[in-house]
A and B are shown apart, each in its own frame.
Chain A
Amino acid sequence: MKKIIIFGLGLLLTGVSCTKVDNYPGPDSAFQGNIIDSVTGKNLLTESQGLNIELKQLSWSDNPDPYYIPVKDDGSFQDTRIFSGHYSVIPTQGAFWPADSIVTDIKGAAAHNFTVVPYLEITNFTHVQAGDSLVMTCQISAPRTAGLPQILEVWPFVNNTPFVGSGAYISQLTISDHNSPSYNLADINSTWNNGIATTTYKVSVHGLLNGRTYYARVGVRVNDSYKKYNLSEVVQVVMPPEK
């Protein structure tokens, strides 16, 4: 019995001796901010997964692995678990012209607002619901036209929560399959020209159900590296009660 206790104690001591105390500080800093649309001066209209903040911790290595903070659907971002250090930071992988990076120290609660130039702005956005259909119209303007990638198409997005966008829409309402007779995107497929600026684009979705509340918006994308969307604001569509 005694032997077993001694043996057990020895085992315990051996095990304890293996723990090493990590002498690096934990990820105890925070970084937050907003993505500002250079045209409107307000937060960029975006969606979940619409863009990322890319951080490279220069004080860690010469070739740091990039670390991404996803930007929220309201155009803000926040991460409260960041290692203190010297960083290069840039908003990227979204529907805007390549932005400038900043080099900054992140320690404690750091904050920075980034201003980006969207590829396109959606203006004069309207929506009309009639019967089981929702018709949305909009116009498109381009803050910068020189070198703007090909503009692809205008998409209607409808969802039953306020989180609506290219990753969250009811797939029976947005038919992006060219083979389908119900295809309901508005094709542009052209580089920028004045005709685009003066056109009113109309997209219609059909099959809305009575008694529901929908949230809708339109999005337009260009053929750049990421094919993300410039979006309109979200509108609420309250359908008449079920018969």
Chain B
Amino acid sequence: MKKVKYISLILAVIIIGSCHKLDVPPLSIISESQVFSTANGIQAYLANMYTFLPMEDFVYEPDKGFLTGDGGRWQNFYQMDAIDGEMAGPYGGVGDAAQGFGLWPYDRIRNINVLLYSLPKYASNYTQDQVNEWLGEAYFCRAYTYFALVKRYGGVPIVRTVIDPNATTASLQVPRNTEEDVYNFIGSDLDSAYNLMWEPGAGGHPAIQQGAASKYAAMAYKSRVMLFAGSIAKYGAVNYVDGDARAKGFAGGIPAGDATKFFQAAYDAAKLVEGHFSLYTGGYPDKVQNYVDVFMKPNNEQIFIRQYSLSDPQRNNDNSGPHSYDATMTCRYMTADGLSRTYPSLDYVERFGPLPIVNTDGTPTRFSDRADLMNSLEPRLLATIYFPGSTLRGLTFDVQRGIYKTFNGSAAQELSNNLNTPNDVNTNWPDTTDPGKNLLFAANSNQLYRGRRIVGLAGWNPSTGDDNTRTGLYLRKYVDYAKQQSACGLYQSAQSYIDMRYAEVLLNRAEAAFELGTLQADALGDINQLRDRAGAAPATASMTIDTIRNERCKELGFEHQYWWDIRRWRTADQVLDNRKIYALLPYYIATENKYIFLKQVEPFQRTYTFQKKWYYEPLPGGELSRNPNLFPNNPGY
């Protein structure tokens, strides 16, 4: 009896309790209304959008992607410029990274679409200007993300709405749009951003915020994107890999006749930026220091940047933690930790003209001091590269490949007689006591010949592998010269990455103007603004498209642009065709107490070859198996 009483009591409690419906908002999930009904919520949402923009910044690795985690994030020498011949770096060849890493940021695109869809529902909480500004930023971020996709894959699915994940599978399998459609879509998103966003600094609106987009940033990017589209329309029409995806307009196949439309759009967009940003000249009259500070000091040339924070402990989950550029671009001898593995090529330096290292009679020019080589060079070049004999943090770039007891004859003869098998030279350390040897190398920089180091402290030093320059050169651009050596450790750098600066807008404008064929004078003016700031001689009206391209490569060197440039010009398979990278290696001549420089293939003798199918990356295999509407894959894959 007692049992029955208890059981019925328990049952009654359960039955009555079951009538309560559990309908309270979950505490662990932030709802849409919580985010979009306050300005703080929206700004946090936007900050998240910005930090996940697929920006090829200091920590980006072309074969691994944007968030490489604690183990990869510090290795800033795994950079794009090391696969395209601009630098000699850790990659064994172009193929190490040419097929990308399967970027597919539709989760980020969805986040952006959520804001575009939901924010208008809460518009009454804000002024119309404020709502438009935020929507403009979202359009900017969406365009930015789509450009990262289209320049890799060609046409990809355009998703403008917030797709319901419970919809039918067929409707979730969004088909590929054509490459041209994607470019037009990006153009219209950037136009939307421009039209919606307010005039910074006018009508009571705040000035441009560092790290955030503005309406003029939208136009700066539009000039980049439209120039890209125009170039592949024009040059992709003659140099391509045939296949289904090309025939259907997914990868290549934009009609060459549409190039003009895109070049015009690039030019118009670049022109709109004029007057709102300017080339930095705040460090004049010293044009070298001025150019160095373009990258080190906040200034009005920087249109869109990514900022880093030393105090951010997050190294795996977002992009705002510190990076390690100072610890990884200069040899350990000058830093507190880490190592360097990537070095500017002599090929880059020769874009500025041949170096004065060989006399007219073919003999190597003698220098009393290695630093004297720099006497006649362009300020911009000196601000971009640390040459042998220059100084940083009170230390000299002591670069020396070896010692000649005596040196007779021409440079070319010496290279073909004694230096034509550099691989042997690397592994076979001559006995320095052998009186028969004229050319001395050493395994490390402690070995002395008559009290003088045989190889320099800063390279090239075989015992440290590639933690010493393989090319005789070190990168200066973006390296923080004001930092103490002890502060140059891993994750101790926070200088901003400049993703867009006004110099590029001028170069986009000049190239588009020249390609249009009717605005040569405009192009010349743009180039000469850059030349003047660089401390170079002005270009003349006989300028060609190659002059403009070379100017671009000089000005934007080591800013992760060259890879995309040779792809859109469709020249990558020619400039990277069994290509070797050259080095500028200093030697000391003992009998003369002088230095010479020899132009040699860098000691690792790596070969760089670009296959034509790499003008497009393969679509990620996982996505293809989920969505058959992505087929056909790009030609050659």
Decide whether A and B are members of one complex: yes
Name the interface size band of chain B.
20 to 34
Give the residue name and chain of the A residue nearest to B573 (CB): A227
Task: For chain B, residues 571 to 598, give those with C-beta under 8 angstroms from any C-beta of chain A.
Answer: 573, 577-580, 582
| A139 in the interface (beta carbon within 8 A) | no
**Per-position binary interface string of chain A over residues 168-187, scored 1 when its CB falls under 8 Å from any chain B CB and 0 otherwise:** 00011000110101100000
Tell me if B242 counts as interface (CB < 8 A to partner A).
Answer: yes
Known: A62-B628, A177-B601. A225 touches B242 (CB 8 A): yes
* List of B residues within 8 angstroms of A171 by Cβ: 605, 607
Neighbouring B residues of A207 by C-beta, 8 Å: 420
Contact at A177–B624, with CB atoms within 8 Å? no
- Partner of A63 from B421, B607, B631 at Cβ < 8 Å: B631
- Give the contacting residue for B412; candidates A63, A176, A181; CB below 8 A: A181
Cα–Cα distance between A207 and B417 once the two chains are bound (Å) = 11
In the complex, whether B35 has a CB less than 8 A from a CB of chain A is: no
Q: Quick one: which of B416, B573, B578, B605 has the most chain A CB within 10 A? A: B578
> Which residues on the B side are within 8 Å of A182 (C-beta)?
416, 420
Complex CA distance for A61 and B633, rounded to whole angstroms:
14
Cβ of B632: which chain A residues have Cβ within 8 Å of it? Answer: 63
Smallest Cβ-Cβ distance to A166: which chain B residue: B578
Name the interface size band of chain A: 10 to 19
**B569 CB to nearest chain A CB (Å):** 16
Q: Binary interface profile of B, 560-571, with partner A (CB < 8 Å = 1, else 0)?
A: 000000000000
B416, B421, B628, B635: the one within 8 Å of A225 (CB): B635
Query: Considering the complex, which residues of chain B in the window 618-637 have a beta carbon less than 8 Å from any beta carbon of chain A?
Result: 621, 624, 628, 631-633, 635-637
Q: How far is the CA of A178 from the CA of B601 in the complex (A)?
A: 12
- A105 proximity list for chain B (CB < 8 A): none
For the complex, what is the distance from the CA of A172 to the CA of B607, rounded to whole Å? 12
B240 at the A/B interface (Cβ < 8 Å)? Answer: yes
Q: Digit string of A151-174 for contact with B (CB within 8 Å is 1, else 0)?
A: 000000000000000000001100
- Residue of A62, A172, A177, A225 touching B613 (CB-CB under 8 A): A225
Smallest CB separation, B465 vs chain A (Å): 21
Q: Which positions 74-109 of chain A face chain B at CB distance < 8 Å?
A: 93
Q: Which residues of B contact A61 (CB under 8 A)?
A: 628
Selected from B580, B612, B637, the residue in CB contact (under 8 A) with A177 is: B580
**CB closest residue in chain B, given A155:** B578
Determine the chain A residues whose CB is within 8 A of the CB of B578 once the complex forms.
176-177
Closest B-chain residue to A185, C-beta based?
A: B578
A contact residues around B582 at 8 Å (CB)? 179
Question: With an 8 A cutoff between CB atoms, is B256 at the interface?
Answer: no
- Which residues of chain A from 107 to 161 have a CB within 8 Å of any chain B CB? none
Supposing A176-B578, A177-B578 touch, asked if A226 and B612 sit within 8 A by C-beta, the answer is: yes
Quick check: is A65 within 8 A (CB to CB) of the other chain? Answer: yes
User: Would you call A227 and B579 a contact (CB within 8 A)?
Assistant: no
Contacts of B237 in A (CB 8 A): none
- Chain A residue nearest to B630 in the complex (CB): A63
B439 within 8 A of A: no
* Cβ contact within 8 Å between B241 and A225: yes
**Contact partner of A172 among B240, B421, B612, CB < 8 A?**
B421
Q: Quick check: B580 and A227 within 8 Å, CB to CB? A: no
A65-B621 in contact given A176-B578, A177-B580, A225-B241 (Cβ < 8 Å): yes
Chain A residues near B633 (CB, 8 Å)? 65
A177 — nearest CB in chain B belongs to which residue? B580
Query: Which residue in A66, A176, A225, A226 is a CB contact (below 8 Å) of B240?
Result: A225
Q: Known contacts A63-B628, A225-B240, A225-B242: does B579 contact A177 (CB below 8 Å)?
A: yes
A 194-243 contacts with B by CB, 8 A:
207, 225-227
The answer to whether residues A227 and B607 also contact, given A63-B624, A177-B601 and a CB cut-off of 8 A, is no
Interface string of B232-259 (1 = CB under 8 A from A): 0000000011100000000000000000
Bound-complex Cα distance A63 to B630 (A): 10
Chain A residues lying within 8 Å of B628, measured Cβ to Cβ, are 61-63
Q: Give the complex CA separation of A93 and B612 in angstroms.
A: 11
**How far apart are the CA atoms of A221 and B632 in the complex, in Å?**
28
Tell me the complex Cα distance, A182–B417, Å. Answer: 12
Q: Which residue of A lies closest to B421 (CB)?
A: A172
A61 to B627, CA, bound (A): 12
Complex-state Cα separation, A63 to B637, whole angstroms:
13
How far does the alpha carbon of A82 sit from the alpha carbon of B517 in the complex, in Å? Answer: 56
Which chain A residue lies CB-closest to B612?
A: A225
Which residues of chain A come closer than 8 Å to B624, judged between CB atoms?
63, 65
When distances are taken between beta carbons in the complex, the residues of chain B under 8 Å from A172 are 420-421
Do A227 and B421 contact each other (CB < 8 Å), given the known contacts A177-B578, A179-B582? no
CB distance from A158 to the nearest CB of B (A): 15
**CB nearest neighbor in B for A179:** B582
* Further contacts, 19 of them, CB under 8 A, given A65-B633, A179-B582, A182-B416: A61-B628, A62-B628, A63-B632, A65-B621, A65-B624, A66-B637, A171-B607, A177-B579, A177-B580, A177-B601, A181-B412, A181-B416, A182-B420, A225-B241, A225-B636, A226-B241, A227-B573, A227-B611, A227-B612
Q: Which 6 A-B pairs have the closest CB atoms?
A: A63-B631, A225-B241, A176-B578, A177-B580, A63-B628, A225-B612
> Could you list some 6 contacts between A and B, CB below 8 A?
A172-B420, A181-B412, A207-B420, A225-B240, A225-B241, A225-B635
